Structures are given as structure tokens and as C-alpha cells.
Structure 1
Amino acid sequence: MLKRIALITRKPGMSREAFLEHWNEVHGPLVSEHPNVLRYVQDNVVHKERFVDRNPDPNRPLPAGYQGPEVDGIAELWFADRESMDELYASPHARVMQADGLAHLGTITTFIVEERTAIDRRPDARGLVLSLSGECVLVTGAASGIGRALALGIARAGAAVIAVDIDASSLDEVVSTIARQGGSARGHVLDVADRAACRTLARDLAQQRISALVNNAGVAIPSRLGADGIDAAWDKTWAVNAGGVFNVTAAFLRHLEATRGAILNMSSVAARSGRGMNTAYQSSKAAVTQMTRGWAVELADRGIRVNAIAPGPIETALTRHTRGDPDRVAKTLSRVPLNRFGQPEDLVGAAVFLLSGHAAFITGSVLAVDGGFDAT
């Protein structure tokens, strides 16, 4: 990663209000819209002090004649490498950017920094409190079931949540619940099977510092080979369960490169079993497992961790059809040493852990949260 830092000083006689108005409304969007810019941050300088002694008094008055900060703004632009940065600054777009900056802002001094570690995610040896404070996590399928529980739990752990789902009304309820509980959340309606829509959302959120993805959206459509409707069931299952994971991850990859973030996929213990007579679901979740392992290796040099959770039998609306037959329920529970169905909330602790700095040395893992189902 490469970062270009720009220190901007407004033109003599230019008011701070005029400087900020042009920077916020014209120059900033002009810079950030170029696809080579992975991340753009602008900070308005409101105060500057020079400390010359070892124990400065932060409450001491400013020197007589102080006229405000010498630098009015600091901009940071992230690039994947030097080549992509040079490509931007050799383009006509850069000449427009520079002309606008010199004409409407003032003096611009730039520095180029090799960004080795954007965020230090090493665990704090002083304690084991799981926290996602300061993180921004996008959760798909957040309107119900496991996704809803994860969105609420991740918000309680301190993260800002971007909740996405195809169900607008239920999504609004989740966002409102997080807000009532003192958390931060935004909702976006999205069909994860729509690749173009995923890319559009990623562009709309280009200024959002997203540090983690939770690819949870999924469907489970009862189907057997040769049965009526198998073609549609197969296509939709794969489009959402496997295609959705790819679409969202590919769309938001640049966000995660900028934050050296984490990806958490939702697989299933069904991915390792031939039981259940729903091969579309089982095979799509096996694909999620393999995407998790492959991307863990592929993205490691970009600082991105990729893990998955494999839930066992969990009580949700998605799995209601598996609990209508008492004999089937008894057979399922006979394989669960803890002798109960899991609840969506049972997955929250594992998810928060895998997204947190305490899992900084874990990637490519698939954690079974299944009451012991996979052990039998």
C-alpha cells in the first residue's frame, strides 16, 4: 500500500469558510472519484500547537499574535502501489485536480508514504475483552435469523454496522433496534446475487472505512434431483449462497485493502455431509468453505484475513422446514451431543472473536458452531 499525504494551506485573504466549502463540495469529490484511489480521507485542521518543553500545559494560552494553523487541511490518498498512483498523476484527471486545488484552495505540499500497516490488530496482552470498537462491519442477510443476531451482536461489541438485505421492511427494524440499543447502523437494500448492484453499493460507500465483511446472506430451498422446480432451486441457491459471497467480496475488496480488514463467511456443517437430501445447499456451502480457504492464501499479502463459521442445526425461519417432522427432529438431535438446536445468538461470540484483533493470527479457518454435530 502507498499513501500520499497532502498538506493544504488556504490562499491569503481566503476565508476558512470558503476554503472548507470548496474543499468539501468540489475538490474532495473530484479527487476521490478516480478508481485508482482506494481510500480518501480529508481532515480539517482546527488547532495547532508547538510543544517545546517536556511537560507542556495543554491549557496554556496561545502565543500573542497567533493567527490560526499554518495548515488548514490534511488529505490522505491510498493507492495499491506506486504504479497506480503514477498512472493517476499522469492522467488528464490529475491536471484538473491540481488546477482546481491551486485556483481555489492554495498551497499544497505532498508526501509519499509506504503504508506498511494501516491498522495494528495485534491482541492486547493486558486483557481478553472482545471489542470491535472503531470498526465498521458490513453484514449481508442482516434482516432476519443469523444475520440479524450477528448485526445486533456486532453493534453491541462497538462496531458501526452497515446492514444489507433484500427485505427492506425487516431491515429497517434491525437498524432501528440497533439505534435504540445505543449502537450505530445504516441499512441498504441489496440483492447479493446482483453483481452490478453490489458494485454500485461499493461505489456509493467509497468514503466509508469498512474494515470487515460478514457474508451471511443465504437461502435453503428444499430440492431433490429430478423433482419439479429443481432447476430454479439450484440456480437460486448457487446465485445467493456462493455467488453472493463472491459478488460482495469482489465489490468491497478495495475497502478491505485500505483497512487491512477481515472477511467472515457463513458456511455450514452441511458442506461436509451427504445427509439432508439438499445437494444444492450442501454444495453451495462447500464452495463457500473453499472460497474461504483459497482467499485466505490469496489475500494474506494484502493483510486481509478470511475465515468462516460452519453453523450446525440452528432455529431460524430458513431451517423451519427441517423441524416439521418429529422423527427428523429426533434424528437430528441424536447427532448433537449438547442435545438442542442452536439459536442465532449462539454464533455471535464466534463471529466477534474472528473479526477482532484477538484472531489476528487466524486465517483460512472454518469454525464449527454446532453443539458437537460435526464430531459425531
Structure 2
Amino acid sequence: MTTSRDSLFSLEGKVALVTGAAGGIGAAIAQALAQAGAQVAVHGNRRPADETALAIGEAAAAFSADLSQSEGAEQLFHAVRARFGRVDLLINNAGMIHRAAAEEFALEDWNRVLQVNLTSVFQLSQFVARDLIAQKAAGKIVNIASLLSFQGGIRVPAYAASKGGVAQLTKALANEWAPHHIQVNAIAPGYIETANTEALRNDETRNRQILERIPAGRWGEPEDIAGTAVFLCSRASDYITGSIIAVDGGWLGR
């Protein structure tokens, strides 16, 4: 008889860190990983992730760190490691967006978006991989990219640059860490109902244009991303690395 521990998709015995897990995509992923058997460290900053941890139960603990500061990633990793002993699965989901015309985009805003969306992704990946390599342990890193990893967007130059960087960083880290049995992949969500897309959904014209382009005919929900995350964290994906998987209702195919 096959047990849950034998399942291709079981995460029993694994410890996951999910950044930006106070709500939206991060919370949905954290809950799905826990349902698959993982213990989950859920991260928040301006919005604490305590509610997510409470919803999951004893398998979760909430952590706070400011990833817009260069020291935030290190503080977060060491806090999670002190609590759980290790990190087997890293979901780099935390992100921010700032909208402004490119010619008026302040350098301060540019630097903050790049730090949160790209530099902290590299920092956390580096901390986790160093630890896994030292222990000769396998692991999984899943970065949250975007449709703007492939497209330029409008009035979001820093976000587009950061998400393009996430896609390339995913490939670069996959190349280096595959021999250590660490797979690095990314999910590129389409238009998902989150706080980051509220402005677009409230714009009647843009909302209509977006829906007309999506073959599925609807905005995605955070739960639409969670299954792909579980797959990429499980042994079912052991031969997949350096991939960016679009979960977009068919947007890129149209």
C-alpha cells in the first residue's frame, strides 16, 4: 500500500519558508505546502503573517523581516533556521510594485523595488543553498516571477526589470546548484486577484482589456498558483530546474 510519505507530492518532513505570506499568493502557497505535509515558516513585514500561521496551525510559525533593507534577508533566514533547524524549501514570493511614468520614476523607488523583488531573492537563495550544500542535503527553491518577466508593462519599469531579473537569476542558480540536488524554478503568475493588481481591476477600461485577452476569461485566484508550487517543491519535479512556468489562464499563448 502506498503511504502519503511515498507520494510523489508529499512534503512530509520538509521545512518550507514562504516570504510575503501574510495574504494573497504567499498565504495560499503556505497553506498548500502545509496540507502536503510540510512545516511552514510564513513571513510578513508591514502586514504580519500571524493570521496565515494561525490558519495553518501547529505546523506553522510567523516571522517578520524588512526585505527592503539589505540585512533583512539574513535576519529572516537565521530566525527561521533557529526555530526549525533548516530550510528545505524556499518560496521567494515577497514583492512590491510602484507605478509611475518612467521619466519621473524616483531612484529611491527604483532601488527599493529592486531590493525587495530581486536582491532579497538572491540573498535568501544564497543563504538556503549554502546551508543545504554544507549538509549535503537536497532542496527546492521556487521564485515568483511574473508575466513581466516576458513583457515590458506600462508605468512599472522597476517591477518589470526586477521580474526579468528573477527569471534570469532562476536559470543562473539552477545551472550552478543542480549538481548539489537543489532545483531552482520560477512560477510566472498571470493576472491574479491580489492587492498588487487592485488598481488594474478598479480601472474599468484596463480590466476589460485584460479579461478580453485571457482565454480562461477570468482573473486568477491565489489558489491557482498553489498547486504548481507544491509540484515544484515535491519529488515529482526532481528533473525540472531552470524553468519558468506561466500560470496565466492562457495569456501568453494568445
- Fold equivalence (TM over 0.5): yes
| Structure 2 CA distance for aligned equivalents of residues 339 and 203 of structure 1 | 43
Deviation at 1:198, TM superposition (A): 2.3
Q: C-alpha deviations, 1:312-347, integer Å up to 9, x for none?
A: 000001111111211101111121100100000000
| Structure 1 CA distance for aligned equivalents of residues 63 and 188 of structure 2 | 26
Q: C-alpha deviations, 1:76-120, integer Å up to 9, x for none?
A: xxxxxxxxxxxxxxxxxxxxxxxxxxxxxxxxxxxxxxxxxxxxx
Q: Which has the higher contact order (CA 8 A, sep 6+)?
A: 2
Q: C-alpha deviations, 1:195-226, integer Å up to 9, x for none?
A: 32322343342561311100000001112212
Alpha-carbon distance change, 357 to 322 in structure 1, aligned in 2, over 3 angstroms: same
| Structure 2 CA distance for aligned equivalents of residues 296 and 174 of structure 1 | 30
Residue number in structure 2 paired with 1:375 = 253
Q: C-alpha deviations, 1:250-277, integer Å up to 9, x for none?
A: 2222333232101000000111112333
> Alignment partner for residue 66 of structure 2, among 160, 177, 191?
191
Residue number in structure 2 paired with 1:221 = 98
Question: Which has a greater percent of helix?
Answer: 2
| Structure 1 CA distance for aligned equivalents of residues 184 and 68 of structure 2 | 21
Residue number in structure 1 paired with 2:118 = 242
| Structure 1 CA distance for aligned equivalents of residues 86 and 114 of structure 2 | 29
**1:223 aligned partner, one-letter code:** A
Residue number in structure 2 paired with 1:317 = 195
Residue number in structure 1 paired with 2:177 = 299
Residue number in structure 2 paired with 1:153 = 32
| Structure 2 CA distance for aligned equivalents of residues 159 and 255 of structure 1 | 19
Q: C-alpha deviations, 1:150-206, integer Å up to 9, x for none?
A: 1111111110001112135x3111111111xxx501111012233323223433425
Residue number in structure 2 paired with 1:34 = none
**1:322 aligned partner, one-letter code:** L
Residue 144, structure 1, aligned to residue 19, structure 2: no
Tell me the SS of whatever aligns to 2:102. Answer: coil
TM-score by length of 1: 0.62
| Structure 2 CA distance for aligned equivalents of residues 190 and 202 of structure 1 | 10
| Structure 2 CA distance for aligned equivalents of residues 203 and 331 of structure 1 | 44
| Structure 2 CA distance for aligned equivalents of residues 294 and 349 of structure 1 | 25
**1:220 aligned partner, one-letter code:** I
1:256 touches 1:262 (CA, 8 Å); kept in 2?
no
| Structure 1 CA distance for aligned equivalents of residues 121 and 144 of structure 2 | 9
Deviation at 1:246, TM superposition (A): 1.2
| Structure 1 CA distance for aligned equivalents of residues 231 and 225 of structure 2 | 10
Deviation at 1:128, TM superposition (A): 6.0
1:223 touches 1:233 (CA, 8 Å); kept in 2?
no
Alpha-carbon distance change, 145 to 249 in structure 1, aligned in 2, over 3 angstroms: same
Larger Rg: 1
Tell me the SS of whatever aligns to 1:283. Answer: helix
Write the mapping of 1:130-141 to structure 2, written as runs, cut at 5 A.
130-141=9-20
Tell me the SS of whatever aligns to 1:364. Answer: coil
Residue number in structure 2 paired with 1:31 = none
TM-score by length of 2: 0.91
Gaps of 5+ in 1: 1-123
Residue number in structure 2 paired with 1:268 = 146
2:171 touches 2:242 (CA, 8 Å); kept in 1?
yes
Residue 208, structure 1, aligned to residue 85, structure 2: yes
Tell me the SS of whatever aligns to 1:275. Answer: coil
**Structure 1 outlier segments of 4+, above 4 Å:** none
Identical-residue share of aligned pairs (%): 38
Write the mapping of 1:1-376 to structure 2, written as runs, cut at 5 A.
130-167=9-46, 170-179=48-57, 184-204=59-79, 205=81, 208-227=85-104, 230-257=106-133, 258=135, 259-376=137-254
Aligned length in residues:
246
Gaps of 5+ in 2: none
| Structure 2 CA distance for aligned equivalents of residues 351 and 209 of structure 1 | 19
**2:221 aligned partner, one-letter code:** Q
